Structure 1
């Protein structure tokens, strides 16, 4: 999500949008096996999902559907995101449509249709894209479309061909490195997803050129399928 030429807004909201596909699981909290809860639903759709194996070429649209389906029932998750060396943290409870993002530049909390923001020097306040404070305005504008911050919604942007370029490990699970290019807000974004065998995405790296500047964002889930403590600040 482009806000003020990828200024404050990208640190918070765009990181969530560009990293995508980061929700889902079972109702039982997982410790080191984050994708076990999603396996039943994913297995039921296995016939329609692309096989993940090293060197395979997979259809992005089919893969995004499988990721969204496998990850739609999580109790919640926590993640950390790095945007050009600036680290932020995020919490997400999909059943409540609740999101909290915190970085050195500012913070954002969205619960349903209600959104609050604060800069590093201000108190919490309702989002106001027309605020005279440029930081508050940027944060508010970045949060103006909460549905776009839903990582499951972001997964729908995966189209075209993707390639499995290797394997790795996240939170005790083997993951397949799935590489390709997606388009977000008119910008081509090179992405690498780290997807488990049952289509849970545990990490992602995305790189884009914006206004002539290379922007790299990395995301990794740090806590999976655990309801997060997200409360209204006002």
Structure 2
């Protein structure tokens, strides 16, 4: 996932804070685990209707989730992928450095919509459109002289990476079930572990249902002395998202 930008306002002009953009881009890639080779395919997962609140292993060979159990990241990612096969669509949010990006996915249409503090992105297949908070929609142009349009356009290329399945498939190391909670009315298991990427250690808590449907992920890291936390939360699951080309 790419979160676009931080900005300062000087007089009537808005300029992109280059340092802020760099930190947020790096942090968003690292903290979602996308740098470890996550898939660009939108997540296709759905919990079974009326999913049991008890810890039952999914139909695959994935291990049963229960407190104290340990599962390696590769297996966890594979189990999430097995669970991620059919969904009408989903919506989610991600917060990092006091900035929140919301996203909607329509897997059947290969469509993604991102809304950031800097503006919005729509990507359908190989086509992308962007708009700032004050402009009209336009075709994405990474070479635009408007730094915000250029930044949003660059972010459009990786819009589909804001995907809980991509995040799961990038997990490494061991994850231990350290507790349980509730997301979207379903019981979730909290799997805690550490990811090492590009010399940065990230403490990660991944939240999945008993049948491995991914509903949240929280990562914390120290980047050059700056503590960063990324919180990813699914807000709607198996809900059709109508995303249409704006032009």
Give the TM interval when normalised to the shorter protein.
0.7 to 0.9
CA contact (8 A) 2:31 2:219 kept: no
1:162 to 160, 175, 178: 175
Deviations 1:114-164 (A, max 9, x none): 111122222212222222222222222222245534442332101211111
Distance 2:50 2:33 in 1: 20
Distance 1:231 1:120 in 2: 19
Give the unaligned 5+ runs of structure 2: 5-17, 52-56
| Correspondence 1:73-84 to 2 at 5 A | 73-84=86-97
Match of 2:48 in 1: 36
Match of 1:52 in 2: 65
CA contact (8 A) 2:114 2:159 kept: no
Match of 1:152 in 2: 165
Distance 2:30 2:86 in 1: 18
CA displacement at 1:200 relative to structure 2: 0.5
CA displacement at 1:108 relative to structure 2: 1.0
Query: What secondary structure is seen at the aligned counterpart in 1 of 2:203?
Result: strand
| Correspondence 1:173-188 to 2 at 5 A | 173-183=186-196, 187-188=200-201
Higher Rg: 2
Give the number of aligned pairs.
222
Query: What secondary structure is seen at the aligned counterpart in 1 of 2:244?
Result: coil
Deviations 1:174-228 (A, max 9, x none): 1100111235677543221111000011111122333442221212111110110
Distance 2:30 2:164 in 1: 7
Query: What secondary structure is seen at the aligned counterpart in 1 of 2:58?
Result: helix
Runs of 4 or more consecutive aligned structure 1 residues displaced over 6 Å after TM superposition: 19-22
The TM-score with structure 2 as length reference comes to 0.77
Residue 125 in 1 paired to residue 138 in 2? yes
Query: What secondary structure is seen at the aligned counterpart in 2 of 1:128?
Result: coil
The TM-score with structure 1 as length reference comes to 0.81
Distance 2:198 2:105 in 1: 23
Query: What secondary structure is seen at the aligned counterpart in 1 of 2:217?
Result: strand
1:113 to 126, 135, 139: 126
Residue 23 in 1 paired to residue 43 in 2? yes
The alignment yields a C-alpha RMSD, in angstroms, of 3.2
Query: Greater CA deviation, 172-181 or 203-212?
Result: 203-212
Distance 2:154 2:200 in 1: 18
Residue 196 in 1 paired to residue 216 in 2? no
Deviations 1:53-80 (A, max 9, x none): 1122111101101101101211101112
Distance 1:17 1:114 in 2: 27
Query: Greater CA deviation, 125-134 or 57-66?
Result: 125-134
The 1:184–1:119 alpha-carbon spacing in structure 2 relative to 1, beyond 3 Å, is farther
